């Protein structure tokens, strides 16, 4: 398991938040998704055997949002 933090560009509409939340949640091996609207961040726990930070980043990019920075931290 790993904790992923994605820094996005500024989010302006609350509906973007729902959109990102759902899209990321629907990925296999992703849990505890939290979209921080005001900070423009997405936090999630991922199972690295099923998905990766790059994959989540691609999903969000597909929705039309820029991913500025990704951070992955191993958790036991």
Partner 1 sequence: MIKLNIWISKHQNKMTAAIAVLIALSLVSDYLIKAPIVATGAMIIASIIGAIPVALHAISALKNKVISIELLVTIAVIGAFIIGEYEESAVVTFLFLFGNFLEQKTLEKTRSSVKSLTKMAPTTAELVNEDGTTETVDVDDLDEGDRVLVKPGGQIPVDGKIISGTGYMNEASITGESTPVKKGIGDKVFAGSLTDNGTITVETTSVGEDTTFGKIIELVEEAQDSQSPAARFIDKFATYYTPAVLVIGILVWAITRDFPLAITVLVLGCPGALVIGAPVSNVAGIGNGAKNGILMKGGNAVNSFSHVDTLVLDKTGTLTTGKMSVTDVDNFGDKTENLAMLSAVEKTSDHPLGQAIVKYVADQNITETPALPELDTVKGQGLMGQNDDFKILVGNERLMKANNVKISAEQKAAINKRMNDGDSVVLMAVDQELRLVVGVNDQLRSDAREGLQALKDAGLKRIVMLTGDNKVAAQRVADRLPIDEVHAELLPEDKVTYVKKFQEQGSTVAFVGDGINDSPSLATADIGIGMGTGTDVAIETADIILVKSSFDALAHAYVLAKKTVANTKENIIIAVGTVALLLLGLIVGVIHMGSGMFVHEISILVVIFNAMRLIGNKSQKLDTDQVLKTAN
Question: Of the candidates 1, 8, 29, 37, which one interacts with partner 1 according to CB under 8 A?
Answer: 37
Spatial strand order of the sheet with 67-74 comes to 30-36, 41-46, 2-8, 67-74
Question: Of the candidates 2, 27, 41, 55, which one interacts with partner 1 according to CB under 8 A?
Answer: 41
Q: Which is nearer to partner 1, 15 or 49 (CB)?
A: 15
Contact 36, 76 (CB under 8 A): no
CA distance 7 to 70: 6
- Chain residues binding partner 1 by CB under 8 A are 5, 10, 12-15, 18-19, 22-23, 26, 34, 36-39, 41, 61-66, 71, 73
């Amino acid at each position: 398991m790993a904790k992923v933090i994605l820094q996005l560009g500024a989010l302006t509409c609350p509906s973007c938040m729902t959109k990102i939340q759902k899209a990321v949640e629907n990925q296999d091996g992703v849990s505890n998704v939290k979209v921080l609207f005001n900070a423009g961040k997405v936090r999630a726990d991922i199972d690295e055997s099923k998905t990766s930070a790059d994959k989540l980043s691609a999903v969000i990019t597909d929705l039309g949002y820029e991913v500025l920075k990704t951070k992955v931290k191993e958790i036991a």
